Amino acid sequence: MKRYFNIILSVILILAFASCGKKKIPEGTEKDLFVIGFSQVGSESDWRLANTESMVQTFKNENGYELIVENAKQQQDNQLSAIRNFILEDVDLIIIAPTIEEGWDTVLNEVHDAGIPVIIIDRSVNVWNKDLFLTNIGSDFFEQGSRAISWLEENDDSSPGNRLKILHLQGTLGATAQIQRTKALEDAMKEHPNWTMVSQLYGDFTEAKAYEVMTEYLKKSRDIDVIYSENDNMTFGAMRALDEAGITYGEGGQVKIITFDATKKALQYCLDGKINLCVECNPMHGPYVLDLIEKYRAGEAIPKQVYVEESVFTKDDLTQDFINSRGY
């Protein structure tokens, strides 16, 4: 009896281990799914939700993929745990949208030792060995900042002898989007003696944090000409604080607003004259990543850095039809 029990137990264990391996598509189809572990930053912004959705819609089972999405809630430690779990699950490939640039060497070496390829999307990682990842797909954040600066240079209407007072709302410190957009502004400050930074406030790319810091700031000073806000959701928080303080903004208002992302809601504010400039940050990474993965799987060479296509929008560039057709 004991012998039969042992045989049954062995069969159960073998089946259990077999099911821990690569996932299969439903019965009746014969192809294995290519399993991808995706460590996403969080859900801090409308941009981020659109980015996750683009990946989910691209890497569907019917396209031969299984995408396991782990939301890191904007904490790098959560990303490190998720990535180590992906190694244990023996996924076929890992995609990382890194919270910040530093602190990836150890975990990426572990992934490398496990023989799992890695793709970095959206932001970048600063690692000593660039062979630890296949490619980095995302935005040229410095170019985005430079586009904002060019617009501000053309629209600096401060009168001679007067300073242009800029308030800077910063995203998550150490994230590529923050580092490069900040660098573009700080470089420009050195070139423009009449521009002055009245404050740099930390908004962590969230509406709630930006609303909180702006509300506090406006209790001390209302003397602002421009808000350079490193993402749309922080802009929405700042607009709420300005409304409550009774300060006008946008076209014909006291404060000019420059925002990054160009999500549907921000574009609508821009068309309505509430935001002056929307610098686009394209979240639709799915098709770009798919193209590179398919090339990689076919044994083709892929570029180390890929930038997504982006633009800038003022009211003059927008129509209601365009905004209505925007998916995010």
Residues in touch with ligand AHR (CB under 6 A):
44-45, 47-48, 122-123, 177, 205, 231, 260-261, 281
Backbone angles phi, psi at 36, to 5 degrees: -120, 130
Residue 66 or 204: which CB sits closer to ligand AHR?
204
Q: What is the C-alpha to C-alpha distance for residues 189 and 187, in angstroms, rounded to an integer?
A: 5
CB of 289 to ligand AHR, least distance (A): 15
Q: Bridge partners of 69? A: 38
Helix (H) or strand (E) holding 88: helix 76-89
Relative to beta strand 277-280, strand 312-313 is: antiparallel
Q: What is the C-alpha to C-alpha distance for residues 90 and 109, in angstroms, rounded to an integer?
A: 15
Backbone angles phi, psi at 256, to 5 degrees: -85, 140
Residue 46 or 92: which CB sits closer to ligand AHR?
46
Q: Is residue 111 within 8 Å of 135, Cβ to Cβ? A: no
CB of 123 to ligand AHR, least distance (A): 5
Q: Is 289 helix (H, G, I), strand (E, B) or coil?
A: helix
CB of 274 to ligand AHR, least distance (A): 18
CB of 126 to ligand AHR, least distance (A): 15
CB of 163 to ligand AHR, least distance (A): 28
C-alpha 47, offset from chain centre? 7
Residue 92 or 122: which CB sits closer to ligand AHR?
122
- Beta strand extents in 103-163 (DSSP E only): 118-122, 135-138
Residue 296 or 328: which CB sits closer to ligand AHR?
328
CB of 177 to ligand AHR, least distance (A): 4
Q: What is the C-alpha to C-alpha distance for residues 153 and 157, in angstroms, rounded to an integer?
A: 9
Backbone angles phi, psi at 199, to 5 degrees: -170, 150
